[in-house]
Amino acid sequence: MRNKRTMTLAALSIGTLLLSACGSAGGTAETPASEGATENLAPTINIAISQAPTGYNGNTASTNAVYNTYVDNLTSSGFAAFAANGNLEPNEEFGTYEKTSDDPLTIKYTINEDAVWSDGTPIDYDDVLLSWAALSGTHPSGEKDAETGAEADLFQAASTNGFASMEQIEGEPGAKEFEAVFTEPYADWEALFTTGVFMPAHIAAEQAGLSAEGDGAELVEAIQNDDRAALAPVAEFWNSGWNYEADLPTLPDTALLPASGPYKLDNATDGTLTLVKNDKYWGEERAGKTDSIVFKTIVDEEAVQALQNGDVDIIEPSSPTVDTKAALEQIGETVTVDTGQSLTFSHVDLDQRAGAVFEDLKVRQAFAKCIPRADMVDKFVTPIDPEGSVMNLHEYQPAQSDYETVLKGAPAAEGDGTADIEGAKALLTEAGKTEPVKVSLMFASTSQLRADMVALIKDSCDKAGFEVVPQPEAEWSAKLSQPGAWDAVVFGWAGSGLVASGQSIYITGGEQNFGGYSDPEVDRLWDEIVTSTDSEAVVPLKTELEQRLAETQYNVVLYANPNIAGYSSKLKGVELNPTQTGITWNAYSWTKQA
Amino acid sequence: MFYFIVKRTIISFFIMLAATTLMYFLTISSGDPFEDLGETSGPEKAATIAARTTAMNLDVPPIPRYFLWLQDVGHCIVPGGVSCTLGQDRTGAAVLPQLENAMGSTLRLVIVATVLALVLGVVVGIVTAIRQYSTFDYSVTFLSFLLFSLPLFWLSTLLKQYLAIDLNTWLANPQFPYLTIALIGAVSGVVWAVVVGGDRRRRATVFGVAAVVTALALYLLLVTGWFVTPGLGVVGMLVSAAGIAVLWTALLAGFRRRRVLHAALAAAGVAFAGYLVSIPLLEDPNWFLVLALVVGTAVVAYVVAGLVGGPFRAQAAKIGAVIAVSVGLLIVLDRLLQAYPTLSAKAGGRPIPTTGSQSANLAGTFWEINLDYALHLILPTIALTLISFATYTRYTRASQLDVMNQDYIRTARAKGLSERTVLVKHAFRNAMIPITTLMAFDFAGVLGGAVITEQVFGWNGMGNMFVVGIDHVDPGPVMAFFLVVGTAAVLFNMLADIAYAFLDPRITLS
């Protein structure tokens, strides 16, 4: 009896189990139809940034950060912008420009007749003149620094490069055309009036107690007459009036923040910034395609999960690792992963002052030969970007179109990056080194990547007759300029895509020539490059420069850092940009399927 | 008492002064404030360094620099003259507004978690103490140690994966295979059997009932589409109100006095009537209206329960008010749940976010907006609660056990008092005295925010301000953080001492 009952019970439970394995309960009753979305496009695209933007005017020393550029790309227009190939491209929707004279260098600019700020005020001469006044460093405040004796400028510009050698721009209030005349030739003249440079002068004037009537006549007069008393409040507003509160809890009054780009600022809450389409934007090609774009502040480590959950539609983590890519690819087909190269590159600088370890060219060459550059690329680059390669030039990165051309013209720079231990040994013997050469190799103690790189170098170069001593430093950047604090140092440079910005790295006595390198030929070439106003003429000069830098083994260039962007597969139009402009350089053309 | 406070304040002032000195020099020597500029070569570098040097007074030697900072703090203490900024951060922005924002954010994030951990921890702690050395006790001990030792960033990652990413996907099409429903029922049966305890037969019954009820409830919720359009409904509200009435009566009065139970049920009736009346009022209210309704209902319930309570008027009236407030909370919850379908659609069908403190540009009713806040709070609150839950359970258990073994508890039992009276009135109150200290410390800690949680879940609170400040080697924000947290620690410690003296007459302050 009891046995039978147990049997029945067992049979019943097995039956239930079998039955339950094949059915399921629940499900969605109906999917709510999404209304209001035109052509099935989502009304909003969410972009992750790792820090909140700090200010609307990204031209000051304190707000000059990549997070502000991310936003400026959409809210601002200029005569040119960096495109996906790393080159500057004219933006004819904003206006046109042409070089009218080489001596003195003169550029004629014409702003589009229809170009207006998002509050309706035309973009014209007063905006141009304010930009020149703020960025040229020609308005000393009268206050002297107690120690250096240098006089501070009224405007705290991040850089006066280029504008400082531009004469005051002549014109009448309301004019849409102007001429920039340079007192000395300036190679990067095309990169001056780019995205983000023009700020709304009528706002600055009003906030400083000047009238904005008559196309900003009062402000124009103040600048033309160099009326410091009237300009001081303008400068004060330009310096900090457009700043946001830290972590962006709210936006200042949006009336103070008119945009010149396809989008304008709408609101901000707790680190989240919303842009909406600029209804006054006059252009067609760059006109915004999505109604609103939202920037969300998310630290890089958390961005992948936020993307997976749909909190954001696109992320571009800085310094991506193999793990970042693996995590992104694991999500599956709902997320697209793009990889490419950036203009930021890693390199080893060598102390070559008199008496230093690398004074002798042969020792430098030996060190360059034993560094396993190809290995590093295999370990740190190709797992992320399969196209990545060893970098052989200093002034051009593989992501740039001119890289191959220049490399062909500089045979001394070529190489596949495989460590040549025997060659290094032979060079050291030639240099007369019988004892192992002790090299103190400095790197940032906070970076695991740098530590791994140093371990690879030590492993390889110790075999070739060096004795590499890793030197992790928290304050490595301060120690860079201290002679004798290091023998070699691994760090990165953020390439700018500009022609002249590298000068101080290579010339004798240059501020960022940390190894004390000096070569008259290189100095001469740089003099020519920075005054060359024809971008075509720069390439052969730089080819010559690269050849010379490689012959004299200025340093050892390793590789260009890989770039990665992960985005929802519903998002269309995303393209990586290797420059500091960031992924949003063409976000106005993005669309997202609803 | 007065002298005690004065003495403590003076001592605390000097302790804080010494602590700020230490903290300031530790911060400025923790790294290189220009580290992030090391790899930039552009022309902006020099200007940025100059601007930062001015903002952080880096051209002044460390000791005078500390006094400059003290001077900035002084501006905040001494009224008049220079405005109070608490110094500048490295971009030259005043620290005080940042501090205010960070505190607002932090209070929103941490208070709910702390209160939740406190309530859950104390309740579970008491139950484990009553059932010492039972399976339940051992399970809770195991669980609380496990939770206590979980690294928060890892727990957060798991929570994001399962409670946000996977749950959102499931919510888009909520269904379970029958097997899963049966398994969930079985697990719930085991949990209940362990919690309720008793002999083998009783456990088997509890297991069976709980498993079947859970599975059935889950099945019904699934087939009726509750996960698509959740809410309690009128019937659910009526049942819940009655349940709440019985529960509070059981806890606060026991069933020996029938009149009290009747009064409680009457109060539940009042609250339910309030619910029916409030349906049109609560379409899109504001906090003031909600609060007014809750208070109004509580007052009416207080009066009605007092009238029904007859001879036990005072007790019945209090219970009535408690019931009305509880039902009020339930109504708020119900309304929030009802707002779910529209909010979920506005969030693109993925309602639970992994980051941030609110949705940008959310236009909606009062309930949608608050549900959005709540959904943003869910993950960080769970993470924080799970971890501080452990401390509270352990402390409460130890303290309750201590009290339960005292002579006066035996006396109370010998008098013939009901077990409920012994536990709630005699044991619980005294067991709470040591917990006061813990609470004081925890609430001081609340102001400090949750360093890792804030960063992981993208909240710009105090903890985040501190971490970023340390990262930038920027003493302004770090010291502002320290001032608040340090002062809170000193202050709450003093309050705990004072509270002690009130709770325990044997202690005098001198």
DSSP B351-381: -S-SS-SS-TT----HHHHHHHHHHHHHHHH
Interface of A with B in 96-135 (CB under 8 A): none
Could you give the residue ranges of the DSSP H alpha helices within B131-177? 135-148, 152-159, 167-172
Q: How far apart are CA B97 and CA B212, in angstroms?
A: 55
A431 to chain B nearest CA, in Å? 32
Spatial contact of A203 and A234, defined as CB atoms under 8 Å apart: no
In this complex, is the C-beta atom of B223 within 8 Å of any C-beta atom belonging to chain A? Answer: yes
Residue A506, SS3 per DSSP: helix
Spatial contact of B364 and B343, defined as CB atoms under 8 Å apart: yes
Q: How far apart are CA B86 and CA B75, in angstroms?
A: 8
Burial of residue B341, with CB atoms counted within 10 A of its CB: 0-12 exposed, 13-18 middle, 19 or more buried: middle
pLDDT of amino acid A26 = 73
Q: Which residue has the tokens 């201590």?
A: B402
pLDDT of amino acid B372 = 93
B41 and A42 in contact by Cβ < 8 A? Answer: no
Nearest to B472 by CA among B153, B155, B88: B88
Cβ-nearest to A297 among B46, B222, B458: B458
Cβ-nearest to B175 among A24, A32, A501: A24
Cβ-nearest to A310 among B43, B348, B358: B348
What stretch of H or E contains A25?
strand A24-26
Those residues whose C-beta lies under 8 Å from the C-beta of residue A463, and which sit 6 or more positions away, are A370, A421
Length of chain A: 594
The number of angstroms, rounded, from the C-alpha of A460 to the middle of its chain's C-alpha atoms is 33
Spatial contact of A413 and A407, defined as CB atoms under 8 Å apart: yes
What is the greatest pairwise CA distance in chain A? Answer: 114
Q: How far apart are CA B510 and CA B500, in angstroms?
A: 13
Q: Which residue has the tokens 């004892």?
A: A435
pLDDT of amino acid A9 = 61
Computed over every residue of chain B, the mean pLDDT equals: 88
pLDDT of amino acid A1 = 45
**Side chain identity, residue B473:** V
Cβ-nearest to B40 among A63, A240, A494: A494
Pairing of strands A488-494, A555-568: unpaired
Q: Report residue A190 as tokens.
A: 């095309």
Number of A:B CB contacts under 8 A?
A: 213
ipTM of predicted complex: 0.84
Chain B residues in contact with A444 by the CB 8 A cut-off are: 35, 38
In this complex, is the C-beta atom of A216 within 8 Å of any C-beta atom belonging to chain B? Answer: no
pLDDT of amino acid A37 = 45
pLDDT of amino acid A36 = 47
Provide φ and ψ at A138, rounded to 5°.
Answer: -110, 15
Chain A residues in contact with B465 by the CB 8 A cut-off are: 247
Give the DSSP letter of residue A46.
E
Interface of A with B in 552-571 (CB under 8 A): none
Q: Report residue A564 as tokens.
A: 């990665």
- C-alpha dist (Å) from residue B247 to B241, B326, B327, B401: 10, 11, 12, 24
Q: How far apart are CA A50 and CA B370, in angstroms?
A: 27
Helix B287-309 × helix B313-338 angle, to 10°: 150
pLDDT of amino acid A441 = 95
Cβ-nearest to B47 among A61, A444, A496: A61
Could you give the residue ranges of the DSSP H alpha helices within B282-414? 287-309, 313-338, 340-346, 366-404, 407-414
In this complex, is the C-beta atom of A21 within 8 Å of any C-beta atom belonging to chain B? Answer: yes
In this complex, is the C-beta atom of B38 within 8 Å of any C-beta atom belonging to chain A? Answer: yes
pLDDT of amino acid A6 = 65
Per-residue model confidence as pLDDT tens digits over B181-198 = 999 999 999 988 888 877
Q: Report residue A452 as tokens.
A: 């791994």
Those residues whose C-beta lies under 8 Å from the C-beta of residue A584, and which sit 6 or more positions away, are A47, A70, A71, A73, A74
Core vs surface per residue A61-95: b (16+ CB within 10 A) or e: bbbbbbbbbbbbbbbbbbbbbbbbebebeebebbb
Chain A residues in contact with B225 by the CB 8 A cut-off are: 26, 28-29
A504 to chain B nearest CA, in Å? 8
pLDDT of amino acid A11 = 61
Q: Report residue A255 as tokens.
A: 């009336």
pTM for this structure? 0.87
Cβ-nearest to A247 among B101, B176, B177: B101
- The rounded average pLDDT for each run of 10 residues, N- to C-terminus, in chain A (594 residues) is 60 56 63 52 91 90 85 94 88 93 91 94 94 90 62 82 89 91 90 92 93 89 90 92 88 93 93 94 92 92 92 90 91 92 91 91 94 94 91 89 90 90 93 91 89 94 94 85 90 82 87 90 92 86 94 93 93 90 92 89
B348 and A61 in contact by Cβ < 8 A? Answer: no
In this complex, is the C-beta atom of A481 within 8 Å of any C-beta atom belonging to chain B? Answer: no
Length of chain B: 510
Q: How far apart are CA B327 and CA B240, in angstroms?
A: 8
B160 and A305 in contact by Cβ < 8 A? Answer: yes
Nearest to B300 by CA among B283, B280, B276, B325: B325
Per-residue pLDDT for chain B (510 aa), expressed as one digit of tens each? 788 889 988 999 999 999 999 999 999 988 888 887 777 666 667 777 888 888 888 888 999 999 999 888 888 877 766 778 888 888 888 888 888 888 888 888 888 888 888 899 998 998 899 888 888 899 899 988 898 888 888 889 999 999 999 999 999 888 888 899 999 999 999 988 888 877 889 999 999 999 999 999 999 999 888 998 898 888 999 999 999 999 999 888 888 888 899 999 999 999 999 999 888 888 888 899 999 999 999 999 999 999 998 888 888 999 999 999 999 999 999 999 999 999 998 888 889 999 988 888 888 889 999 999 999 999 999 988 888 888 889 999 999 999 999 999 999 999 998 888 888 888 888 888 888 888 887 777 777 767 888 888 888 888 888 988 998 899 999 999 999 888 888 888 888 888 888 877 787 776
Query: Side-chain half-sphere of A432: how many Cα atoms within 13 Å?
Result: 3
Residue B341, SS3 per DSSP: helix
Interface of B with A in 461-480 (CB under 8 A): 464-465
Query: Side-chain half-sphere of A335: how many Cα atoms within 13 Å?
Result: 27
Chain B residues in contact with A21 by the CB 8 A cut-off are: 177-179
What Rg do the C-alpha atoms of chain A give, in angstroms?
A: 29
A25 and B181 in contact by Cβ < 8 A? Answer: yes
Q: Report residue A28 as tokens.
A: 């969605």
pLDDT of amino acid A385 = 92
Spatial contact of A106 and A166, defined as CB atoms under 8 Å apart: no
Spatial contact of A228 and A236, defined as CB atoms under 8 Å apart: no
pLDDT of amino acid B450 = 78
